[in-house]
Amino acid sequence: MGGAKSRVSNASKRSKSLKSGVKTSSKKTKTALSQRMEEDGSPSFLNCQHFEKLVRIHSMLAMTAHDSTKQREYALDAHFFVMKMWEQSFQCLNATLFFDQHKTQIEELGYSAEDKESRL
């Protein structure tokens, strides 16, 4: 009798582990899919990651274009996006330096680095 109980408990443990394994693998898939779904198709503002993708796309278009005017146009577009990346990087650096220099005044106004709502 004791052997039958242990077989049943072992079988239930195996089924639980199989169920949890299925949940884990589907959870990873759902996470990857949900991240893709959360990406905004038309964001209000472009960041450096967007510009980097645009640089790559326009560089490839310039390399594959047969018409020299199209090559030049795509290359200039890629150059423009590189310049926008630099511009955003310096704006971010300047904002960081500004907030570091005026930390006490900012805290007096009630803003803090931990409070995400105060940075909107």
Q: List the Cα angle 109/110/111 in 5-degree steps.
A: 100
Check residue 4 and give its pLDDT. Answer: 57
- Per-residue pLDDT of 65-117, as tens digits, reads 999 999 999 999 999 999 999 999 999 999 889 888 988 888 888 777 676 66
| Alpha carbon separation from 108 to 41, 48, 98, 104, 119 (Å, rounded) | 38, 32, 15, 6, 15
What pLDDT band is residue 118 in, cutting at 50, 70 and 90? low
End-to-end CA distance of the chain: 67
pTM of the complete model? 0.56
